[in-house]
Structure 1
Amino acid sequence: MSDRMDIRESDAGIVRVFHLDLPPEAIERFTVQAGTGEWPLLYGLGAKKLSASFIDVVRIRDLEDMPLTSYLHQAHGIPEDQLRDNAGQLNRLRGHVLILPSQAFAHTAQSLTIRTPLRWVGTFQEIRPTRAKAPLRSKSARGSIGGGRASARSGPGLPIVKLALAAMATVVILGIAAVYLAGG
């Protein structure tokens, strides 16, 4: 049996959770891309492209007393109210889960065909940061970024800094030489 899931190139803030029905000794071989390019996880998802740095494989036992729902809330920013409806199912899972945030799909549109040993558990929306309601009005907020000329208040220029560093290095070298000559 397989589930189909469409991933849009513009997906952002979406977290997909899968249960991995494999013995513990087979998890790493399934989820980590081999040096030969073989990657069973890619095939199990039916994916075209994955970004390994965003894949989160969690051994439930490692969470100890923390329920999976708390982990998803704290580590992946999923609001508790979204998790509440699936809390029983999520917190009863054993073994390993695979957590794939939108970034794991490398901004690549693709249709997934989920196959055993993966079982889709749920799709959740991350907490979206709130935007500032009013524009910032402080003097520092009106500054410019790069490209402009430095003002007289911006501090010493690069040549002065280089001279100061060279002078300090000379003093240190002379001090070391004096200690060496006095002792030898």
Structure 2
Amino acid sequence: MTLTIPANDHGLIRVFKVTDPLPEGLSDRTPEALLALFGTDTLDPTYIDVVDTRDLSGLTLLDYLNQGYDIPPEAAVDPALRDLHGIAVLIMSRASAGRDVTLTLAPQVTHVTTTGAPARLTAPAAPLTSDAATGTVTGSKAPPSNAAMSGRVATIALLVLFALVALMIWVAS
């Protein structure tokens, strides 16, 4: 089975169940282990999490996703996610580093679900070409406001008063 993470993917977590045999270095997310499971070593392991549900100390995988990744509790309605036990690999959108990545799943890997809040906005693919987007902005620097001028006058007055007080103390001593 193949699965493609698109280049513009954002905010999603793909959940995979992995059964035995586990590749060497999976818990460390080594490129070799990722290549053995997903058919590619171009994924950024910083954005991949390997979770053994038996090590969650009383938490369910849903609790872990809710507390660690801010996945809303509504994800609990997904029975595939609710019933997942054993080794789970979580691949975040950022693991693809902004490029299309095709995953070729090994026989012991099953795509359980994709969860999260996808991005609602995308950047324009091409530069803006309208007449309003061309040209340069002209004009000079705006004159200082009345409040700015009052602040400058007050600062100068305080400096003069400081100098007078310092002079009076120096003469008196």
Q: TM-score range by the shorter chain?
A: 0.5 to 0.7
Q: Tell me the matched-pair count.
A: 121
Instruction: Say whether residues 1:62 and 2:26 are aligned partners.
Output: no
8 Å contact 1:16–1:100 — kept in the other structure?
Answer: yes
Instruction: Say whether residues 1:113 and 2:104 are aligned partners.
Output: yes
Report the CA distance shift for 1:126/1:62 in structure 2 as closer, same or farther (over 3 A).
farther
The equivalences for 1:54-93 within 5 A come to 54-81=47-74, 83-86=75-78, 88-93=79-84
Separation of aligned partners in 1, 2:3 and 2:35: 14
Structure 1: where are the runs of 5+ without partners? Answer: 129-151, 153-184
Instruction: Say whether residues 1:8 and 2:1 are aligned partners.
Output: no
8 Å contact 1:77–1:126 — kept in the other structure?
Answer: no
Report the CA distance shift for 1:76/1:28 in structure 2 as closer, same or farther (over 3 A).
farther
Report the CA distance shift for 1:65/1:33 in structure 2 as closer, same or farther (over 3 A).
closer
Radius of gyration: which is bigger?
2
Instruction: Say whether residues 1:29 and 2:15 are aligned partners.
Output: no
- For residue 93 of structure 1, give the secondary structure of its aligned residue in structure 2: coil
The equivalences for 1:23-172 within 5 A come to 26=22, 29-30=25-26, 32=28, 39-47=32-40, 49-81=42-74, 83-86=75-78, 88-126=79-117
- For residue 25 of structure 2, give the secondary structure of its aligned residue in structure 1: helix
Structure 2: where are the runs of 5+ without partners? Answer: 120-151, 153-173
Separation of aligned partners in 2, 1:105 and 1:47: 11
Separation of aligned partners in 1, 2:28 and 2:32: 7
- For residue 111 of structure 1, give the secondary structure of its aligned residue in structure 2: strand
Q: What do residues 14-61 of structure 1 show as CA deviations (whole Å, max 9, x unaligned)?
A: 1000011026xx465245465xxx613224212351111111011101
The two structures have a TM-score, normalised by structure 2, of 0.60
Report the CA distance shift for 1:33/1:69 in structure 2 as closer, same or farther (over 3 A).
closer
Percent identical: 29
8 Å contact 2:62–2:82 — kept in the other structure?
Answer: yes
Aligned-residue Cα RMSD (Å) equals 2.6
The two structures have a TM-score, normalised by structure 1, of 0.56
